[in-house]
């Protein structure tokens, strides 16, 4: 959103009643037709603005898009989300992040958040498609980690904890983490995370933490089998949720845990992850690329590997795979 549009919006936000185009023009030192152009732009961005010849413009309703201007009002972070790129529609926020990181020094992009209202080619774990219609929260956080390589997976753990905590704080719903990086409410998935690393030998160029949260999505729009295994915040809470407030909260909770990671406070993240886990101490069936086996999930390590005590008593570490719980 351009500065002039923001300035027009601020005048409308601050005014208790309608404001004439002439007054806005005068206040900003622009022409009345320039004001009209900005009003048109604000309407396109989803702001409900009424206009009457006699009285002028009045802000009736704020946008429900995840616009940087709206997020900034609620954001309580120092670094994460201090730079935001917003897209109405894109293939994948991860793809945009990679493009940006290839063009600019990732150090300068650290903490940047890329948001899309809708993704046409969303990517999930193990290369699966991630359905991303309008109403969800689809974002990628670009990071230049100052974390030892063997602890990088903990970025996902920090993100999972942040989302579960944010949902709990905003709606009082007992969101849980299912290994490896799914967010569940009851027995249904409401969100997922995907960590991608651009690394080489012992250097990490950048890390991308992709986050998808099914916020204001009507389950009736989803086809089976998705609607049998997914839920949305709207379905759980019973009405549309304030996506801006939730996103700002997720970013804040994430920043706090990311700071702990940078400070080497790994134990507190692992402890918190475990306390929110629906997988630890449960009977699970694990499916990796080359085998399927059952056992009890007994722990998680700093690399995010799940520790399973198999039915034959042997203990196995699983780094990647699908986990089924009954």
The contact set with ligand BTN (CB under 6 A) reads 92-94, 119, 122-125, 130, 132, 138-140, 182, 192-194, 210-212
Supply the minimum distance, in Å, between the C-beta of residue 138 and ligand BTN.
Answer: 4
Dist. CA 166–CA 4, nearest whole Å: 33
- Shortest Cβ distance from residue 257 to ligand BTN (Å)? 18
> Where does residue 325 rank: exposed (0-12), middle (13-18), buried (19+ CB within 10 A)?
middle
Rank residues 182 and 253 by Cβ distance to ligand BTN and give the closer one.
Answer: 182
The minimum distance between CB 117 and ligand BTN, in angstroms, equals: 12
Q: Are 130 and 212 in contact (CB under 8 A)?
A: yes
CB–CB of 267/158 below 8 Å?
no
Residues 160 and 304: beta-carbon distance below 8 Å: no
The whole-angstrom separation of Cα 61 and Cα 82 is 25
Q: Which run of H or of E encompasses 37? A: helix 32-44
The smaller minimum CB distance to ligand BTN, of residues 5 and 158, is found at 158
For residue 126, the minimal CB distance to ligand BTN (Å) is: 7
Q: How far is the CB of 53 from ligand BTN (least distance, A)?
A: 44
Q: What is the closest distance, in whole angstroms, from the C-beta atom of residue 93 to ligand BTN in the complex? A: 4
* Cβ at position 60, least distance to ligand BTN in Å: 31
When the beta carbons of 140 and 232 are compared against ligand BTN, the nearer one is: 140
Choice between 142 and 193, CB closer to ligand BTN: 193
The DSSP 8-state label assigned to residue 19 in this structure reads: B
Kindly provide the residue ranges of all beta strands, DSSP E only, lying in the chain, ordered along the sequence.
48-52, 56-61, 84-90, 113-119, 137-143, 176-178, 182-185, 188-200, 203-213, 283-287, 292-300, 306-310, 315-318, 322-325
The nearer residue to ligand BTN, 35 or 142, going by C-beta atoms, is 142
Are the beta carbons of 208 and 98 closer than 8 angstroms? yes
Instruction: Count other C-beta atoms under 10 Å from residue 268's C-beta.
Output: 13
> Which residue, 130 or 206, is less far from ligand BTN as judged by CB?
130
- Say how many residues make up the chain: 326
Shortest separation between residue 183's beta carbon and ligand BTN, angstroms: 9
Is 121 or 264 the residue whose CB approaches ligand BTN more closely? 121
Shortest-Cβ-distance residue relative to ligand BTN: 192
Could you please report the per-residue DSSP string of 258-270?
HHHHHTT-HHHHH
- Closer by beta carbon to ligand BTN, 49 or else 163: 163
Evaluate the CA torsion angle 85, 90, 92, 98 in order and state its sign.
negative
Question: With contact defined as beta carbons under 8 Å apart, do 230 and 190 qualify?
Answer: yes
């Amino acid at each position: 959103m351009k500065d002039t549009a923001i300035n027009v919006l601020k005048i409308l936000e601050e005014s208790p009643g309608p404001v004439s185009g002439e007054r806005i023009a005068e206040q900003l030192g622009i022409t009345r037709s320039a004001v009209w152009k900005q009003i048109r732009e604000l309407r396109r961005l989803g702001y409900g603005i009424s206009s009457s010849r006699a009285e002028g413009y009045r802000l009736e309703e704020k946008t429900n898009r995840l616009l940087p201007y709206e997020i900034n009002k609620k954001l309580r972070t120092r670094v994460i989300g201090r730079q935001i790129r917003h897209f109405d529609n894109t293939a994948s926020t991860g793809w945009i992040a990679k493009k940006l990181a290839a063009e600019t020094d990732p150090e300068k992009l650290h903490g940047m958040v890329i948001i899309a209202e809708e993704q046409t080619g969303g990517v999930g774990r193990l290369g699966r498609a991630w359905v991303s219609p309008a109403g969800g929260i689809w974002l990628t956080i670009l990071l230049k980690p100052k974390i030892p390589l063997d602890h990088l997976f903990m970025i996902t753990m920090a993100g999972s904890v942040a989302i579960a905590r944010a949902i709990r704080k905003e709606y009082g719903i007992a969101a849980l983490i299912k290994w490896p990086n799914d967010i569940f409410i009851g027995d249904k998935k409401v969100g997922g995370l995907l960590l991608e690393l651009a690394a080489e030998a012992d250097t990490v160029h950048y890390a991308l933490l992709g986050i998808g949260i099914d916020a204001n999505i009507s389950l009736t729009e989803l086809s089976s089998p998705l609607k049998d295994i997914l839920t949305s915040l709207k379905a759980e809470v019973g009405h549309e949720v304030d996506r801006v407030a939730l996103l700002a909260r997720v970013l804040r909770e994430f920043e706090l845990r990311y700071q702990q990671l940078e400070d080497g406070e790994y134990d507190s993240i692992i402890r918190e992850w475990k306390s929110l886990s629906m997988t630890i101490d449960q009977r699970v069936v694990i499916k990796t690329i080359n085998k399927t086996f059952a056992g009890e999930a007994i722990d998680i390590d700093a690399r995010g590997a799940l520790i399973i005590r198999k039915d034959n008593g042997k203990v196995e570490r699983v780094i990647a795979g699908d986990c089924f719980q009954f």
